[in-house]
Structures are given as structure tokens and as C-alpha cells.
Chains A and B, each alone.
Chain A
Amino acid sequence: MKAVILAAGEGNRLRPLTERRPKPMLPVGNRPVLEHVLEAVADAGIQEVVFVVGYERDRIQTYFGDGDDWGVDIEYAVQDTQLGTGHAVLQAENFVSEPFVVLNGDRVIDDSLVSAVVDRVWDGESPVVSVTRVDNARNYGVVELDGELVHAIYEKPGVDESRSDVINAGVYGLEQGIFDAIRETDTSSSSELELTTTLDAMAREGGVAAVRYSDYWLDISYLWDLLSVNAAVVSQVDERAAGEGVPDAAVAAESAHVAESATIQPRVALGDNVSVGPNAVVSNAVVLPDATIEAGAVVRDCIVGENATVGPNSTVVGGDARIVVEDEVHRDVRLGGVVGDNAVLGGGVVLDPGTVVGNHARIASGVAVSDRVPSGAEVRRG
């Protein structure tokens, strides 16, 4: 059986981190989310995988190649414009010839979920939708169940409409008929062709089976989720810890370089070719490849982008913040700050909690910044 993994999406709410890479390539525990998905698929015994790629697909293709490192064969189906998950599934039509599973490439899941869906599809059931319970159900597709059947799927309902805390877990078992069903789906109410719209219509006719799942299900909707999901994954993989001075609940790539006098606290992931200078303190942080944290810097509750530089004695204070994302206010979220890809903080820069510095931005020495600094901007003292 083949697995089709949807990895073409951009992830608007995660800018600036998704300006140069697709959301599935965000690293948790030093490995892209998509790699966690691929491993769940491989652990479930699936050896043939189709990645539906689009936005910044070079990053995915370069990282995963043909899948040999994971013991699977990866083929690439290209979705040139991102017109929804249904449209994405259609791109895989020529790659599958028997029942198959579809997964979102941006959710960290356990392989037992994949196995459960695979079993049901082998038993001849289709379509199969997996469901799980979460606290913030209204951010996702809420599913109404009727015993072992799906009664309806509501895509991101408002507070009022939300009648259930059971959501669509994003792993589906499908067969060939789904392609025609997607094409025949009424799209008049939306510009995008969502797989859930098609499945909702099928569910209302009583033909969609549900698979319940209760193990971990981790999604990165907002920048701060990256820190919590990373922390959850890092604490699971502590046997991977490498490098002197790196505590159990932190990971450092083999090629990362940590000065002896630096302090790495738990819930930290240091990527390839990262350098942490003397006396620096890093805590609850995701540090992407090639980034530099200079001597004496303090980096807490922070995401440091690829090839970014946090100058000497700069401080990301850390703690809770109030952050506005797409006109929506989020209070008390734990995000000390984000330093975008290739951004440079000079010496002694201070980031207030919740500061998001865009890609390629340059902050001059000694400046205290808060809120958002757009990508490419230069901030001087003044």
C-alpha cells in the first residue's frame, strides 16, 4: 500500500519561518516535521510513498532524496498552485493504483495511527477518517460521530458551532473512487478544493468510517507551537542527545559546536553547523542550521532561524507574551522571540517577549526591540 503525504502547503501563520521553506520542513527535535510523519509511515510497514510538493519544494526534495535513508521509495507529485487538500490529493492520482492512505505532512503522529487506518482499508472499508480529541478543537476540522461512522465534518467552526471536541486527525484511508468524488464536489462556496468538503458530503450520505486515536498528535499552527512541540519531541528522544554540556532533554546535531562554558538547558534543539559561543545560555529554544549564538548571549523561549546571528551579550528575555497573528490577538503565549533566517542581531540587542524579527533583518547593537520587525528591515539606534 502506498502513502500519499501532503507537503505542498506554505503555512502563512508561521511567517517568517515559512517564507523560505514549506511548513512541513520546520524542525522539531532537529528533524523536519515531515520526517516524523515519514517515519510513522515507514514504521507502519509502508514502503512506497508519494510526497505531494509545491511551495519551496526544493527544500523537501533535497532533504529526502529518494527515501533510501528511511528504507522507503519516495516519488514526487507536484502541485503547482496550492488550491486545497482535495486538489493536492488529485495530483497523486497517477501514482496510486490500489487503496492508499493520505496524511498531512505537518502533524507529528504515532505510527499506530497509520497502522490502524491501513488495517481498516485492507478490510475493505473506505473512505476512512481518523479522529482524535484535542482541547482547542475549534482550530481544526471538528468531526461529529455516529457510532463508528462519521456523521459530519466541519472545517474550523466558530466557537458557537463547535459541538464536539473530536477532530479530524488528518490521516485518511481512501480508494480510487475518491478522485472522481473530489472532482464532483461542489466548490461554489470556496475557492479551494478541500478533501474534507468531499468527505463531509460522503459522510452525510452515511459512508465514512471513523478510526479513533488517542496517542500524541502534535500540530504547529503558530510560532510558539514550534517550541512546545519541539519540547515534547526532544523529551522523547533524549537518547539521541549528543555533545558535551547538552542535557538529556536537549539535542544537538553532531556538527553543532557548543563552547565549553556555554549552558544548554532542557528543551533545546541545536541544528547542523550551529555554533554557541562561550558563556551563552540557551533554554527552551529551536536553533536552525548554520545559526550562530555569540558569546554571552541569553536565548530563552526562542526560535533562531537558519544562518541567523544572535550577537554577543544579546538577550532574548523569554516568558509570556501577547502576540497578534493575522489580526487575531493571542495572550499569554510562551514565546520569547523569533530571529528570522539570516537575520543579524548585533551586540547587546534585547528582544522583548513576543518579538518577531523577520528574515534578513539587521538590528544594530544596543537596540531594544519589540513586536514585529519586517523581513529585510534595518533597525538602528535612534
Chain B
Amino acid sequence: MCGIVGYAGDEDALPVVASGLKNLEYRGYDSAGVALLDGDVDVFKSSGEIDGLTLPDRHDASIGVGHTRWSTHGRPTDENAHPHTDCSGDIAVVHNGIIDNYDELKTSLAEDGHEFRSETDTEVVPHLLEERYDGEDLLAAVEDVVDRLEGSFALAVTAVGYDGLVVARRDSPLVVGESDAANFVASDVTAFLEHTQDVVFLEDGDVAAVTGDSVVVRQDGDSVTREAQTVDWEADSAEKAGYDHYMLKEIHEQPQALRQTISGRLDVASGTVDLDLDLPSNYLKSLEEIQIVACGTSYHAGLYAKRLLEEHADVRCSVEVGSEYEFTGGRDPWRTLVVAVTQSGETADTLRAMRKADAAGARTVAVTNTVGSTAAREANDVVYIRAGPEIGVAATKTFAAQVTTLSMLTVAIGREREALAGDRASTLLRNVRGLPGAIQQALDDADRVRETANELADSDAFFFIGRRLGMPVSLEGALKLKEISYAHAEGFAGGELKHGTLALVTEDTPVLATLTDGANPRETLNNVKEVQSRGAPVVGVSSLDDAESYLDVGFDVPELGELEPLVANVYLQLFAYHVADALERNIDKPRNLAKSVTVE
């Protein structure tokens, strides 16, 4: 949510910053801007997508920052686009996050004669810096100013008189990339992966001075050392490889992503998994409840895992939306494990929930895709889903990798609790291992999904139904369709249809039913009959061999036990994609949305 990129080195900064912005476009795309330092500060910014930003053909500056915006304070206008500057135009700031006390700061700065040009919270920062900056020691000025800010931020600042950038982080992601010739900063490593894979993740409260040949990190005025890490993601992943959209590329990457997810972690024959977790056996045995906290698609993965955990690990499990989470209800924190599921590891709502659990004394496990992310660092334990970078705003392969990882976690916990017998664990793991092959079969049928989507694209609304493990998949199917096609879609438990929504079902409202193992398909088939008798077209994703006669279109899911609904989900992903494509939507950049929601 908002992307920052910065460069300090010997080469021209402009192309690096511009390509970095393009790589970060998934974080926001309603305005963009660049500031280049070359004796003085030149700012280029405008509302609209990055491709619409007018930049010079070349520019001699070797220091620069860029920003792509997802609006929180102030509409997407040219004035509200970052970078923001002070009155003199010598200090430029880009910011991700929300400054809570900007109103009072702005009032007091205005009284002192500062002129504001935008409606943003960010603009107070350059003006505050103008008060403090002596023209040389930008690091000290930024350290002073961040002390006065309340809220969350990742800041990158460049100013006349200083030969580099100063960055600061509090509750918003910021990473420094190091190479021999230059140093980089960004909200996310994908911004500069093509230049270096050696990175330093900043921590909350860090302020860093980044020049072409040095990186100095300070916290509370003292120098600190932050360990350098190597990110083994390939820059490749930020390109489309002949596909029309990242989303379609990522849907097709699912078999290989899942092979990575499970590689070296499971032993089917013995029914055991190794997730490198540090959860003592006695602790797991004493657990009374597992709480899963997550948002959006990750929340649906959590709902899927809840059923698996309750059944195989014999432990009560609840799933809560991150923003609604409270540690209440008479729970014993020592007997409650909180599992935070977040692709980016930076989802503000989920981090907030995790911190509440931590403050209450509960143990936390992060299930995330992002090494070095805030969730990974703050949780007591972390399990990586290893899906590789996901650029499409609509999460696809990471949902599959989350459910796969949570299935393995279920086996790990169930075995430790002695609730899951070896043969049942073995069956579940055999199905986990079968996921890549089964999903490939769904992908092989993509042409038929496209035909079906094209026929139904202009419908009034879409309803997704499924029971048990088919329920979270129905929610997820509806969410995908909403996100990228803007069609009205609802997902719910099959049994709930007759309790209200059936009133909306007409000949122009297709119903998509998940009819697989693990989803009580026979019962859902009765719901299919209810809607069919009202004329609704029915699309079934099914592993039943006799469902065809009740379906207008059927897609086959190979045998995979309780993981069949996860394979069914791949058909629903393809359906959402092709409906959106038929409606000519901007699939990788759906309106109003951005990936990695780092504001609450």
C-alpha cells in the first residue's frame, strides 16, 4: 500500500527509480512521482498510473526517490502525489503509512508561515525537516522529526546538501539493498531485485543514512547493526513471461509453487512433517484453542485450516478477521496458540491482532510468504509458504500455498498432540503431495473454463456455494470475482441459500457449486437442485461421478480427499480471471485495491 523506492550510487538514478516503481506498481497505482537530486531537487509527479507519469528522457542525478500511491489522506490528484517538498523545494519526501497527528503539526507549521500545497498527511514531514535541517546533517534532522510523528511510516528523504538518502521506518515495511556500486531502499525487495539480492531489513524505530558507498543504521541515536540477508527470489518473477496478466501467470505457477512449499517437509510413509518449528510437545498437548487471525484471502485459508485442525489435531479452532480481533472471552493465554496468516507479512490489521495476542501472553506463529517481514520477525515462530513473489493484486498461488502449509501444520500439531494416527496423517500427506499434479489437471482444462466464463460474463450476479471445506472456497471464489471483475458475487455455505439469498436467484444469476470430497457434495447437490428449478445456470466443480445431469457445465476434480476443494478453487480462479478478461477489466490493477494492505 504505497510503494517507495530510492537509489544512491554512481550511475543515473532515473532509470533505476523508474523501473523500481514499475515493479512496485502492485502496491498502489493512483498517483506516482520521482524526485532527483543533482545540485538541486527536481520533482516529477502526477495522478494516474505510473505509465502516465512524464519523466525526462535522461537526467544526470545519481540520487533519487520514487513513490507510487494508494490514497489514504487526500484524493489522487497531482498535488497530492508524492514526493512532497518543503517551502524552499530543497527537501523531498516520500512516505508510506499514516501520520496520525498531522492535523496539529500542520496547524502549528502553518502558523509559523509554512505554505502547504496538498491535502496529505505526508506534507508536514518536509516542512518539519525544513525547520531542523542545517543543510548538511540530514540524518540528525530526520531523527529529530520522526520523534515528533505519531502513526505509522516508512519515509525516504533526499535534500540539497546531502549526498544520499535518509530513510526511517515505524510499522511500515522498508528494506535496504546493498551492492558494490550502489545502495537501494524500497518498500519491498521486488523493486530492486534485478540489481541486488543482498538486503538488510530495517526494524521499527530505525533511521538509516544511505549513500552510494555506505549504509549507517541508527536507533535512538545509537548506531546498530542489522544483519544482511540474501533473498533467493528471482527478479524474473516480477515479469509476465508471455502471459497477458500476472494473475494468469501466477495461477499457472501453482503446481511448481506447491512443489516448493512441500519440498523436504513431509514424509508420507511415516505420516510426519518437519516445519522446523520450535513448539514444545507438552505445550501443544496443553493447548485448548488455536486462533487464526488473517484478512481477505488469507482469512479464507484460515477457515479451511480451522476444519482440518479441529478434525485432525482435535483442538478447538477459531478464525478471526485481523481488524476485529481481541484477546477476550476468558481464554487462557498459555493454552492458546495464535496463528497469523499473511502473504506479505506486513498486513497492518493482522500485525495488530498478532501484537494483541502477544501482549496478552499468547504464543504466536506467522504463516507468511515473505522472509524478513514484520510478521516473520515479531512472531515466536514462523512457517514460510515458499510460493515465490506474487505480483497480481488478486492472490492466487499464495492461497494454495497457505492452505497447503496449514495442512502440514495440522499434521505437525495433530501428531504432537497424539490426536492423529500415523495412517490418517499419511493419507492427508499423500493428498498434500498430490496437489501439484491435481492442480495441473485443472489448469489443463483452462480453455473450457474460459468458454464458460465468456458465456456467463454478463450475468446479473454470481453465487458460490459449498459446504464444510467447500465453504471457504466459495467465499474465496466470490472474492476473486469481485476483486477483478467488479461483478456482484457472494459466497456462502450451501445450506444458507434457502435462508434468504435464494430470493435473488434468477435465470441471470449463475450458481457455482463445489461438489467434492470434504465439501459434503451430496447435500450441496440438493441445493443445486433448488436453484436449478428456479432457472439459474449451474456450474459444478465436482468429483462426483453422477453430478453431470444436474449441472449446466461440470469441471472434474481428481480424487484428493480433503484437499479436493483446494483444487476446485483453481477452476474458480480461472473463472474469475476469464470473466474479468471478457469484461475487459484491468486485472492486475483492479480499481481501489492494492496488494499488501499496510494501513489499518
Contact = CB atoms under 8 A, between A and B. Distances in A.
Interface stretch (A64-72, A83-91, A136-144): A64-72
B261 to A, nearest CB: 10
B237 to A, nearest CB: 7
Contacts of B259: 255, 272-273, 289-290
Contacts, number: 88
A290 B262 contact: no
A275 B263 CA distance: 12
A371 to B, nearest CB: 26
A290 B443 CA distance: 15
Contacts of B558: 342
A6 to B, nearest CB: 15
A186 interface: no
Interface string B89-104: 0000000000000000
A64 B243 CA distance: 12
A259 B267 CA distance: 10
B242 A273 contact: no
Given A62-B249, A62-B253, A255 B446 contact: no
B10 interface: no
A68 B437 contact: no
A291 to B, nearest CB: 8
Contacts of A66: 236, 239-241
Interface string A51-93: 1010001100111111111000011101000000000000000
A342 B433 contact: no
A277 B433 CA distance: 14
Contact of A290 (B235, B237, B434): B434
A278 interface: yes
A53 B438 CA distance: 25
Nearest to A57: B242
Nearest to A62: B252
Q: Give the interface centre of B239, B241, B256 by most chain A CB atoms within 10 Å.
A: B241
A259 B243 CA distance: 39
B241 A62 contact: yes
B437 A290 contact: yes
A307 B438 contact: yes
B268 A290 contact: no
Contact of A342 (B235, B255, B269, B441): B441
A290 B436 contact: yes
Nearest to B267: A257
A346 to B, nearest CB: 14
Contact of A254 (B252, B264, B444, B446): B264
A61 B243 contact: yes
Nearest to B263: A255
A20 B440 CA distance: 10
Interface in B209-265: 234-237, 239-243, 249, 252-253, 255-256, 259-260, 262-264
Given A273-B436, A278-B269, A342-B441, A62 B263 contact: no
Contacts of B438: 307
Contacts of A75: 242
Interface in A6-59: 20, 51, 53, 57-58
A61 B249 contact: yes
B252 A307 contact: no
Interface in B258-307: 259-260, 262-264, 267-269
A307 B437 contact: yes
Contacts of A255: 259-260, 262-264
A76 B241 contact: yes
Interface residues of A, number: 33
Contacts of B236: 65-69
Nearest to B443: A58
A257 B274 CA distance: 14
A75 B239 CA distance: 11
B241 A342 contact: no
A53 B433 contact: no
B448 to A, nearest CB: 14
B269 A277 contact: yes
A259 B270 CA distance: 11
B263 A20 contact: no
A69 B256 CA distance: 15
A238 B496 CA distance: 59
B446 A58 contact: yes
Interface string B536-573: 00000000000000000000001000000000000000
Given A62-B256, A255-B262, A273-B433, A68 B441 contact: no
Given A273-B433, A277-B269, A290-B437, A68 B443 contact: no
A258 to B, nearest CB: 11
Interface in B400-457: 433-434, 436-438, 440-441, 443-444, 446
Contacts of B253: 62
Contact of B440 (A67, A68, A307): A307
A273 B249 CA distance: 21
A306 interface: yes
Contacts of A307: 434, 436-438, 440-441
* Residue of A20, A53, A65, A257 with most chain B CB atoms under a 10 A cut-off: A65
Contacts of A78: 242
A69 B234 contact: yes
A148 B235 CA distance: 44
Contacts of B436: 272-273, 289-290, 307
B241 A65 contact: yes
Nearest to B194: A68
Contact of A64 (B241, B252, B440, B441): B241
A279 to B, nearest CB: 12
Interface string A268-288: 000011010110000000000
A348 to B, nearest CB: 20
A257 B241 contact: no
A53 B241 CA distance: 12
Contacts of B237: 65
A342 B242 contact: no
Given A273-B436, A275-B433, A342-B558, A61 B267 contact: no
A269 to B, nearest CB: 16
Contacts of A259: 269
Nearest to B252: A62
A342 B438 CA distance: 8
B538 to A, nearest CB: 25
Given A76-B242, A307-B437, A257 B234 contact: no
Contacts of A277: 269
A374 B309 CA distance: 41
Interface of A: 20, 51, 53, 57-58, 61-69, 74-76, 78, 254-255, 257, 259, 272-273, 275, 277-278, 289-290, 292, 306-307, 342
Given A65-B237, A66-B241, A76-B241, 19 more contacts: A58-B252, A61-B242, A62-B256, A65-B239, A68-B239, A78-B242, A254-B263, A255-B259, A255-B263, A273-B259, A273-B262, A273-B433, A273-B437, A275-B433, A290-B259, A290-B434, A290-B436, A306-B437, A306-B440
Closest CB pairs A-B (n = 3)? A307-B437, A76-B242, A68-B236
5 contacts: A61-B242, A74-B241, A273-B436, A307-B438, A307-B440
